[in-house]
């Protein structure tokens, strides 16, 4: 029987689920405004029950995503100051970029062009780190501008009104960047590229097989073998229900995301 190793904890998987749910909700209730001239936007906004209802759900999902963000910050804070895990700030277990990521990137490009072997990735690849930080700063920027717009009456006491012009622009542009990036680049890098197609279930099961780990992240498995941390991550194969759960939920998420991306693309091309 193949050995499996934990990659994501249950908490991290739930967090990703919350993130994905609120993100889809925000895109679905926000993009109709940005692409108001498209027929689907009119249809969707009326189908959802009007712009007030749409606004209500947009704010609800925003609160959910804010909760997600704060929980994550709390978790990072706890691991940093509570459990003294200095490793999350620097090193192979950290999401902070380090020189190896740039080397990996160059090597990866060479591999794309057939000019060298595939780089030996560790726990987090450079594109995964980019995903993380893009989402992190995206949430800060979209969230801040969103709250400024939401509570414009309060913010107008301390900020000049033209800030709302800027906030709306940034909110929309950054949202387009986030949606476009997640629904194409992230989906491809993680799920849709030929090696993973149609879906990498690790974000639902939390586990990867030994063969997959060795092929994808040889540096991590070698490091863990030599450090002796590998056995603590060892687990059973994910049960069938869990894989099916992941397939259904993941398939649905990717499908909705691609649909939204297609609609946005349609509106952009027609504009």
Binding mask 78-117 for another protein (x = CB under 8 A): -------------------------------x-xxxxxxx
Other Cβ atoms closer than 10 A to 174: 19
In the list 185, 233, 242, 256, the residue contacting another protein (rule: CB under 8 A) is 185
Binding mask 203-232 for another protein (x = CB under 8 A): --------x--xxx-x--------------
Stretch that binds another protein, among 1-9, 32-40, 243-251, 259-267 (CB under 8 A): 32-40
Other Cβ atoms closer than 10 A to 195: 8
Report how far apart the first and last C-alpha atoms of the chain are (Å, whole number): 55
In the complex, the smallest distance separating the C-beta of residue 106 from another protein, rounded to whole angstroms, is 12
For residues 175 and 52, give the distance between their C-alpha atoms in angstroms, rounded to a whole number: 20
Stretch that binds another protein, among 10-18, 33-41, 227-235, 255-263 (CB under 8 A): 33-41
Q: Which one, 18 or 215, has the nearer CB to another protein?
A: 215
**Does position 28 bind another protein by CB under 8 A?**
no
Q: Which residues of 86-97 are buried (b: 16+ CB within 10 A; e: fewer)?
A: eeeeeebbbbee
In the complex, the smallest distance separating the C-beta of residue 78 from another protein, rounded to whole angstroms, is 32
């Amino acid at each position: 029987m193949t050995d499996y190793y934990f990659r994501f904890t249950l908490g991290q998987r739930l967090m990703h689920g919350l993130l994905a749910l609120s993100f889809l909700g925000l895109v679905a209730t926000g993009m109709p405004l940005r692409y108001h001239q498209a027929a689907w936007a009119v249809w969707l906004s009326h189908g959802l029950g009007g712009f007030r209802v749409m606004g209500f759900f947009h704010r609800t999902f925003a609160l959910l995503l804010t909760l997600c963000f704060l929980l994550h910050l709390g978790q990072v804070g706890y691991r940093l100051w509570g459990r003294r895990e200095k490793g999350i700030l620097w090193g192979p277990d950290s999401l902070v970029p380090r020189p190896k990521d740039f080397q990996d990137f160059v090597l990866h490009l060479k591999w794309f062009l057939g000019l060298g072997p595939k780089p030996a990735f560790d726990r987090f690849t450079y594109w995964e780190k980019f995903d993380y930080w893009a989402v992190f700063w995206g949430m800060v920027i979209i969230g801040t501008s969103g709250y400024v717009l939401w509570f414009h009456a309060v913010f107008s006491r301390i900020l000049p009104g033209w800030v709302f012009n800027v906030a709306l622009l940034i909110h929309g542009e950054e949202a387009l960047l986030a949606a476009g990036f997640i629904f194409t680049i992230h989906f491809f890098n993680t799920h849709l590229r030929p090696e993973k197609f149609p879906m990498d279930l690790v974000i639902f099961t939390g586990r990867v097989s030994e063969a997959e780990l060795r092929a994808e992240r040889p540096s991590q498995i070698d490091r863990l073998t030599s450090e002796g941390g590998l056995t603590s991550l060892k687990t059973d194969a994910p049960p069938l229900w869990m894989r099916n759960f992941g397939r259904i939920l993941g398939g649905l998420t990717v499908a909705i995301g691609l649909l939204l991306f297609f609609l946005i693309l349609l509106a952009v091309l027609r504009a």
